[in-house]
Chain A
Amino acid sequence: MMTSTGEAVLFWVLAPAMVLGALGLVFARKAVYAALSMIFVMVCLAMVYVMQQAEFLGIVQVVVYTGAVMMLFVFVLMLVGVDASTSAVETIKGQRWIGILMGVGLGTLLVTVTARAALPETVGLDEANSETNPAGLARVLMSDFVLDLEIVATLLVTAALAALVLTHRRRLTPKIGQPERAAARMLAGDHPVNLPAPGVYARHNAMDVPALDPEGNPIEASVSRVLRIRGQEHSLDTDVTTLVATRDAAELTGDHGTDTAAERGGQNDDTDAATTEGEA
């Protein structure tokens, strides 16, 4: 049966494009290009299905193949690494030429068989599709193929489970959570809590001056490790008049003059600073 001119035009546009896209699968250097040409071939196939009075299959082709299957391929490409290229070294000698030969041979064989086959006169699906294609398809699917439908449902569930099992990663070591981390820190004997903040002296606005412990001694660890390594840390004795020293001096001399108060402006402790200001 001769088809309509419109169908012939669409076929001769789509068919070479599909063959080129399929060849892209063979020759593409990168896997992503191969995936894209595959998507192109599948969308063209969907158009061919619709053209051949298989509207339902055309839609399913777009939804299932290009929408689900090829997206899955692209996702796995992303997981495996887009640039993961295979080595050019042939494991089997002359595999490329043998493969091309066998491919061309297979193509020739199949095309020859098709050419020599005596096809019956085309009936067309106008009668079978009389109540629209999906309705006719459903009638066949739910009567003649209902057992196959059930088996395929089982197959789908099994495949979903298989994917879960295959990609499941068994945990070889116990999970490390917050309690385990805390216990490890205590065992290691490090500071169990935060390090003390460096002393803030008004004169230095100082990250580089150590804080004082309750007895007035400097805490070395309170200054950033980087500053200590660079040697930019200020020691309390030489550069900064310490709180303790000032207070001792004030108590000894009994002098509450402006000099001492100015010095006390550089204290690291809010309450002391407030009293100093009050005294001043």
Chain B
Amino acid sequence: MEVGNYLYLAMILFAIGATTVMLRRSAIIAFMGVELMLNAANLAFVTFARIHGDLSGQVIAFFVMVVAAAEVVVGLAIIVAIFRTRKSASVDDVNLLKG
């Protein structure tokens, strides 16, 4: 098996994550799609670190994880705040600015 197979897996997972963001109307599930995309990028980073024999790729993947954790905290706080005021977690119901 070639090491490049990991890259194919990462690309497929990224595409599925993007599809989730585009298709699902629940804000929480769309958010999980974003997490899947970040994870796929991490897998590509780790694979490239192995291909090049350089640990920088793994360090970047580590940073991606930290940033993803911070992003999840803020994103979920926003979802909870919107749910409190609008009684809905659907991305379609956030249309206050609609003309």
Q: What is A's interface to B at a CB cutoff of 8 Å?
A: 1-3, 7-8, 11-12, 15, 18-19, 22-23, 25-26, 28, 31, 34-35, 38, 41-42, 45, 48-49, 52-54, 56-57, 60-61, 64-65, 68-69, 72-73, 76-77, 79-81, 84-87, 91, 95-96, 98-100, 102-104, 106-107, 110-111, 113-115, 119-120, 122-125, 127-129, 133, 136-137, 139-141, 144-145, 148, 152, 155-156, 158-160, 162-163, 166-167, 169
Determine the chain A residues whose CB is within 8 A of the CB of B19 once the complex forms: 26, 99-100, 102-104, 106
Does B74 contact A162, Cβ atoms closer than 8 Å? yes
**CB within 8 A of A64: which of B11, B22, B23, B69?**
B69
Does A38 contact B58, Cβ atoms closer than 8 Å? no
Q: List 9 A-B contacts (CB under 8 A).
A: A25-B17, A49-B43, A72-B76, A76-B28, A102-B22, A110-B12, A113-B11, A159-B71, A167-B80
Smallest Cβ distance from A17 to chain B, in angstroms?
11
Smallest Cβ distance from A216 to chain B, in angstroms?
59
Does A38 contact B35, Cβ atoms closer than 8 Å? yes
**CB within 8 A of B70: which of A26, A42, A123, A155?**
A155
Determine the main DSSP class of A at the interface with B: helix
Does A52 contact B50, Cβ atoms closer than 8 Å? yes
> With A72-B72, A86-B26 known to touch, is A169 a contact of B46 (CB < 8 Å)?
no
Please, how many angstroms separate the alpha-carbon atoms of A48 and B88 in the complex? 37
Does A60 contact B62, Cβ atoms closer than 8 Å? yes
Does A128 contact B1, Cβ atoms closer than 8 Å? no
> With A25-B32, A111-B12, A124-B53 known to touch, is A11 a contact of B69 (CB < 8 Å)?
no
Q: A-B pairs with CB below 8 Å: how many?
A: 250
Known: A103-B15, A159-B71. 10 other contacts (CB 8 A): A54-B49, A87-B25, A102-B19, A119-B4, A125-B49, A140-B55, A145-B63, A156-B70, A160-B73, A166-B77
State which residues 30-62 of B face A: CB under 8 Å. Answer: 31-33, 35-36, 39, 42-43, 46-47, 49-56, 58-59, 61-62
Determine the chain B residues whose CB is within 8 A of the CB of A120 once the complex forms: 51-52
Please, how many angstroms separate the alpha-carbon atoms of A55 and B47 in the complex? 13
Does A45 contact B39, Cβ atoms closer than 8 Å? yes
Determine the chain A residues whose CB is within 8 A of the CB of B61 once the complex forms: 54, 57
B56 to chain A: closest residue by CB: A140
B81 to chain A: closest residue by CB: A166
